[in-house]
Amino acid sequence: MTEDLLWGKNPVMEAIRAGRPISRVYLQDGMKAAYKTEVLRFCNKNGIPYQFADRKHLSLMSDNGIHQGIIVQVASKEYMSWEDMIAAAAAKAEPPLLIILDGVEDPRNLGAILRCADALGAHGVVIPKNRAVPLTSGVAKASAGAIERMPVDRVTNISREIEHMKERGLWIAGADMNNTNIIDQQNLTGPLAVAFGGEGTGLSRLILEKCDFRISIPMRERAHSLNVSAAAAVVLYEISRQRRLAERRSC
């Protein structure tokens, strides 16, 4: 099992709550007593070794990240297949909603998208193995703990997986600002996967051609586009809104 370093109070506590295996804890000298007591209690209860270090040492370990006085050596986040994500949605009697990311390279964007997906009812996120950021400590920090709750699949070929998703009954929507299919004019309540492109490039031509339809966000003329994580938040909210309305109508 490979291991990563994870830092920051909230990401660490979320990892602990999620039951991720932790092999060692590093604490900053002189950190607040209440938090230190909680962490040491956890370590002693679970037989996890810990050690104290000065702030400079922890900053070097975290590549000058905002570690807030704690770093843990933790098992790498496990990926989940998108087929299992669909099965989990079915177990809840919910139409599956997946997010496909085509080349998102900024860990802050991926973390923010995981946070939105968690908050707005998506069942999982699919990312490619190449030319995209994996689940790093930076992603964990930006997700504010959502990385522990939101399943992620990492696949070799996004285009091929889209074809398999279609075979499993999902409709594929491509977020494309260069079309006139406004999101609130589309029915987004059924089994769905929404594809978003990377920073500055948008969806690749190949992925766009694989989509069943395209959607866009209505914006003022002077605004050319949104950051990918902001666009994902808007689209996911509209999907959530439509699904809540549909659920109320069916009651």
pLDDT band for position 63 (50/70/90)?
confident
Domains (range + CATH), the chain: 3-75 (3.30.1330.30), 82-250 (3.40.1280.10)
**Most confidently modeled of 13-27, 161-175, 200-214?**
161-175
Residues near 178 by Cβ (< 8 Å), separated by ≥ 6?
A: 216
Mean pLDDT of 165-192: 93
% of the chain with per-residue pLDDT over 90: 51
Mean pLDDT of 189-210: 92
DSSP state letter for 156: S
Say whether pTM exceeds 0.85. no
Cα separation, 183 vs 186, whole angstroms = 5
State the DSSP string of 3-33.
EEEEESHHHHHHHHHHT--EEEEEEETT--H
C-alpha of 100 from chain center: 10
Whether pLDDT at 73 is above 80: yes
Residue 150's nearest CA partner among 112, 187, 176 is 112
Whether pLDDT at 2 is above 60: no
Mean pLDDT of 142-158: 92
User: Are residues 235 and 182 in contact, defined by beta-carbon separation less than 8 angstroms?
Assistant: no
Whether pLDDT at 1 is above 50: no
Burial of 29 (0-12, 13-18, 19+ CB in 10 A): exposed
pLDDT in tens, 104-143: 999 999 999 999 999 999 999 999 998 888 888 788 888 8
Neighbouring CB atoms inside 10 A of 162's CB total: 24
Whether pLDDT at 200 is above 80: no
Q: Choose between 89 and 31: higher pLDDT.
A: 89
